[in-house]
Every structure is written in C-alpha cells, then in structure tokens.
Structure 1
Amino acid sequence: MTVSHNDPPALPGWNYTPKVPLAVSPLFQWPLRPLAILRWVWDSWFLLSERLIIVGIAFATFIWTQPSLEVTKHLEPAWIAQIWLRNIVLLTVVAGGLHIYFYRWNAQGKKLRYDARPLMVNGKQFTLGGQIRDNVFWSLASGVTVWTFYEVVMFWAMANGWAPVMTWDQSPVWFVALFLLVPMWESFYFYWIHRALHWPPLYKRVHSLHHRNINVGPWSGNSMHPVEHIIYYGSVLIHFIVPANPVHILYHLQYYLLTAATTHAGFEGLVVRDRNRLKLGTFHHQMHHRYFECNYGGLEVPWDLVFGSFHDGTLEANERMKERRKRIMGS
C-alpha cells in the first residue's frame, strides 16, 4: 500500500483515514467469496504481519526461556519470577520500542497517523499525572502481573494433568490450526467482555481507566484496571477445555498483550520507503476511543454489525453513531 495524503478523509478531525467503508472479514460476508477469504487470510498473516511475528516470538520464548512442564509441576518462586521478568522485557521492548520510534524520535512524522494531536503529558485524570506514565504503570504493574498469573496457572495445570496437553505428533493439523484460530477467538471473546465493560457500573469503576486514552499510543493498549486485565486475559482459560501445547499458551497471551500495543500504536502501519510495510493500529478501534459507543469488537467476528454498533468510517455511519450515543446517554 502506497502512502497517500491526497484523498480527503472520510471523517472530519482526523489526520489520516484508510479507505472506507471499513469491511468486516469475508468469512462473514454473503455470498461467500472463496478467493476473497484466501486473500484475507494471506493479508492477515503473510508475508510480514504482526501475527506471524508473534508466532515467532512465542517459539523463541518457548525454546530459550520457558521452564519445562516437569519444572512447572510445582509452584516455586524461581520459575515464576523468570516468567514475570520475561514478560516485563517483552512488553517493554514492543510497547516501549514503538513509543520511542513513533513518539520520541518522531521517525515517521504524521504519515499514517490517525490523530495528529500529541499524547497528554499532564492530566489530573491520570494516576501518575500524565498519560504515558499512567499507561506504563498500569501496563507493567497490573498487566504483566495478571499475564504472568495466567501463564503460571496454565503451565501448572498442564503439568499436573488438569488441563489437556496436545503435541505436534498427536495432531499436526490442529497444532497449526490453533495459531490461526486464536485471533478469531479473541475477536469473538473481546466483543462480549467489552460490551459488558461499557455497562455503566462497570464502566465507571473499571473500564473508564482505559478510556482515559482518547488519543492512544502503544502503552495505552494494556493500560487497564486490574479487574479488566483479569477479565480480558481470562480468554486463555478456554484451554482448560481446548487442548493446547505450552507454545500455544505463550502465543495466546502474547497475541493479546502485544497486539494491544500494536493496535493502539496510533499509526496504521510502519512506513519504509513510502510504503506501509507492517500493519499496526486499526482505525476501527481508534474510532472507539474517540466515539466510545461503537466498534466494541473486531473485524474478524463482526458482532458490531449484527447489533448495530458498527462504525465503518463514513460520514453516514458517524451520524448514526451520534444518534445512537444520544439515545444511550439519554437512557
């Protein structure tokens, strides 16, 4: 995709918008178009994608830093601390690296940046008085702790026979398929827990912390209340039912944590030689942070389209969302 700023934005107030209307996954478009589905899968994974990179990270961490199931059979501080430290480093490298590149170095300027306004340096609404400090604190202190807790629970349960373990030798097709299905499960799961978090009592006490970020950066993705971290990362508990390998557990949670950083990067992608070489932030979710009552889920499993909360980036959809928000606020 060649970067261009010649086309007028679909909505006022944005520095950059992608082509609209935004489209949901062709898996949920009728009539089904097999070639479009294959193209969507290819574009989502190859040649270079955040999903494929995270698969690589999962295998690298599994090979070089993951304690064996023999070790995780017993809850001991040493291996738990090893996992916690690994996760601190992973999130800091990904979220911190993106923040430094895009916001400290300003290496890409405003190319493919959705909202050109600067991140908030100060603000009384933030726990530590500023957006970035607030985001880093909640991402590391709460986010990494809950992430580590779920990994410890899953590896301990697998080692003791309480969660089913699957190996490549047992089912190579299912072994590969799980990597493809995790993003679909994330989209399905995320919509429902996200809608629940917008229920006024939960929003006020829990989810409003995340929505302090109207204009988002890489550290914003995992800046949540501890209760929201517990709910959000709890997606991995499905593997008490669905057999998986420890590398799938690593991928499942790394996908949740690391793509939260990339999708909140504030930029559609990484530009190299005037081309978008790596897709990152999604305008679909960026609109949710500005408009609140739309786009609760993802494009892979389009529950928003089913329940009338889908904002496709057009002016017509914006007017519908304004009316919808008035009704919600009025009630």
Structure 2
Amino acid sequence: MQDQVDDEPMSREWNYHPDLPLSDPSVFKLPIDPMFLSRWFLRNWLMLSERVMMVGLAVLLWVFAYPSLDQATHFAVGWIAQVWLVNMAVMIAVAGGLHWYFYLRRGQGRKLKFDRRDMAKGNRLWSFADQVHDNMFWSLTSGVAQLTAFQVFTMWLMANGYIPTISVAEHPIWFFLGLLLLPIWSAFHFYWVHRLLHVPFLYKHVHSLHHRNVNVGPWSGFSMHPVEHFLYLTSLMIHWIVPTHPIHLYFHVIYLGPGAAMTHTGYEDLLIRDKRRLALGTFYHQLHHRYYECNYGNQEMPWDRWFGTFHDGSDEATLETRQRKKSMYQKKAG
C-alpha cells in the first residue's frame, strides 16, 4: 500500500490511486495462504475497522434504540416509526458526518482522494441542480423507507417465530460465524444484482440514477432508484432462511445502508496525524464508477476475476472495459 499523503495528484486521470495494477485481496484466492487469511482476519475483525464499528453500533442499537421483538409481534405505527427514525438518524449521522468532515471541513484536504473534482453544483443533471442534495433526497426517502420496510418485516417474522432465530448463549459459535459470513454473502448477492442492473434496459431506466455519481461522495452510496433499492435490499432476505440473531439483522441493515456511505466516501482511508487509521472507499469500486462495465462486485469475492470483468487500474484494462461496453450496446442495437 502506498503511503503518499500529500496533495499532489499522482496521474493525469486520478488525484490519488493505490499501487497499480491492483493486487488480489480476495479470501477465496488460490492457492490458500494461511498467513494471508490470518492478516485479513486481523485487519477486519481484531482491529478498528468498518466492520467492527458496524457490529458495535448494531449492538448499541439493539440494546438502546430499536424496539424489542416483544413489541414487533403485531404491526403498529409506534414501533415501526421508531425503527424508521433510528435508521434516518444513523444514515444522517454517518453520511452527513463523513460529508461534513471530508467535503465541508475538508479535514484531510485531497489526501488519499481518488477523484480531484468536488461534488457537482449548478448542473441540471441532478435534482435540485446539486449532486449532494440529489443524493440526500434518494438516500433519505426511498432508501431509508425501503431499508426500514425490509427490517420491520423481518423483525415481525422473527417475533412471531415464522423464521428461525438463535440466541448467543445457545449458539455462540454460529453467532460469531454469522457476523463473519454476512459481508461475504452481501458481496455475493451484490455482484449478481449489480450485473442484472447493468443489462442495458435496467441500466437506462434504473441504475443510471446511481451512476450519475462518477465522482462519488458519502451521500452517493445509498442514492439509488427505488427499483434498485428494492433489488439491493433483497440481500436481507437471507434472514428469512438462515437462523440469525437480531444483532445479525441490525448489522446487515447498517452494512447495506450507512455502510454504503463509508465505501463511497471518495477517499481510501481516514488519516489521523498523517497515518491511515480507518479504511473507507476502495479504488476497485471507484474504477467501476469511472468506467462502468467492470468491477461489479467487491474485492472480497473473486467473481470479477473469474468472469473477466476485473479492472486492475491499468490502461490495458481500461481499453478492454471500453470494448466490452461497446460490444454490450452493439448487441442491444442489433
């Protein structure tokens, strides 16, 4: 990993990028490397990381903020509104906090920022002619509403015993394995839903709303067309099949909603005293927002490499991606 933390752009295309070509950090890469897996586990679960913070927040919300499952046996305005208010507050706190720090306060200037541009203003491409206001609108309306709807329905299923649940005391190993596996499941689900959204018809009428964000910021992560929100959030349906605990559900909700703000920050890491303290956005996904028909998944799952849609940041990969996009739309026209 490069340690460059100055304000000088690294290339004509990017203000900053990691070492290129991108390496393979997937936990599924072969041959299996026990040392690599140990470092991955240490970095993601035994140090301060996005995931550790999300699990901690899920526990706090379970204890102090979300209604208990005892209240969820019947649909009622009170507890449903409580879930919606908590989700709204968390989304505003996470996305709004990151936007304030990186783009209003400019807490680390352009250090580790991928794209040299600021958020767009005065462009009619965006609702309200403002990229941030447009992104906030879609995130806080359709986004929070549908996130809450999936969560409320799943809580109701859990409360009434319609789906299997577990307790930490009776299933401690599965409880902790569930936390490890949920991000991997989400990455698997995201890849295939994302490929579907890039079918030309769905891209034009649905996914293009999200892709207006070529230069991403925290509010762009959960800014989607309502149809895309629905498809994306079907990841939560895993709780209808696999036995889980409410903490798993709340972690998953945070991972998909506010977590998207973290991965779309537009910066690779949070710097404190010029040292990397928290991983945020990835250049892997930034390449997808720049070149579209590549890197549909994330780095944890090997699908892009296996199916020939991986962009490693090189000029050769950019040329291949542009050819793939041209071919896709030529087939449509034919």
| Number of equivalenced pairs | 330
SS of 1:206's partner is helix
1:322 aligns to what?
322
SS of 2:129's partner is coil
What TM-score do you get using the length of structure 2 for normalisation?
0.95
Question: How far, CA to CA, are the matches of 1:18 and 1:167 in structure 2?
Answer: 42
Instruction: Tell me by how many angstroms 1:46 deviates.
Output: 3.3
Does 2:265 match 1:226? no
Please say if residues 311 and 317 of structure 2, whose CA atoms lie closer than 8 Å, have aligned partners that are also in contact: yes
2:209 aligns to what?
209
Please say if residues 200 and 329 of structure 2, whose CA atoms lie closer than 8 Å, have aligned partners that are also in contact: no
What letter is aligned with 2:183? P
Question: How far, CA to CA, are the matches of 1:8 and 1:38 in structure 2?
Answer: 34
1:139 aligns to what?
139
Please say if residues 210 and 220 of structure 2, whose CA atoms lie closer than 8 Å, have aligned partners that are also in contact: yes
Please say if residues 26 and 32 of structure 1, whose CA atoms lie closer than 8 Å, have aligned partners that are also in contact: no
Instruction: Tell me by how many angstroms 1:45 deviates.
Output: 2.7
Does 2:291 match 1:297? no
Which sits farther off after the overlay, 227-236 or 125-134?
A: 125-134
Instruction: Tell me by how many angstroms 1:7 deviates.
Output: 10
Instruction: Tell me by how many angstroms 1:275 deviates.
Output: 1.1
Question: How far, CA to CA, are the matches of 1:134 and 1:59 in structure 2?
Answer: 31
Question: How far, CA to CA, are the matches of 1:47 and 1:260 in structure 2?
Answer: 20
Does 2:81 match 1:81? yes
Question: How far, CA to CA, are the matches of 2:326 and 2:19 in structure 1?
Answer: 27
Question: How far, CA to CA, are the matches of 1:299 and 1:203 in structure 2?
Answer: 22
Question: How far, CA to CA, are the matches of 1:72 and 1:257 in structure 2?
Answer: 22
- Aligned positions of 1:258-277 closer than 5 A: 258-277=258-277
Q: Deviations over 1:301-328 (max 9, x none)?
A: 1211111110111223222223222322
1:194 aligns to what?
194
Instruction: Tell me by how many angstroms 1:5 deviates.
Output: 5.2
SS of 1:270's partner is strand
Q: Which runs of 5+ in 2 are unaligned?
A: none
Distance of aligned partners of 1:12 and 1:305 in 2 relative to their CA distance in 1, 3 Å threshold: farther
SS of 2:27's partner is helix
Instruction: Tell me by how many angstroms 1:25 deviates.
Output: 3.3
Q: Deviations over 1:21-62 (max 9, x none)?
A: 223334322211111111112222331101100000000000
Please say if residues 21 and 312 of structure 1, whose CA atoms lie closer than 8 Å, have aligned partners that are also in contact: yes
Q: Which runs of 5+ in 1 are unaligned?
A: none
Q: Deviations over 1:177-233 (max 9, x none)?
A: 111111101110000000000111111111111011110100000000111111111
Which sits farther off after the overlay, 126-135 or 51-60?
A: 126-135
Question: How far, CA to CA, are the matches of 1:131 and 1:86 in structure 2?
Answer: 25
Does 2:95 match 1:95? yes
Aligned-residue CA RMSD (Å) = 1.6
Instruction: Tell me by how many angstroms 1:122 deviates.
Output: 2.2
What TM-score do you get using the length of structure 1 for normalisation?
0.96
Instruction: Tell me by how many angstroms 1:8 deviates.
Output: 8.4
1:239 aligns to what?
239
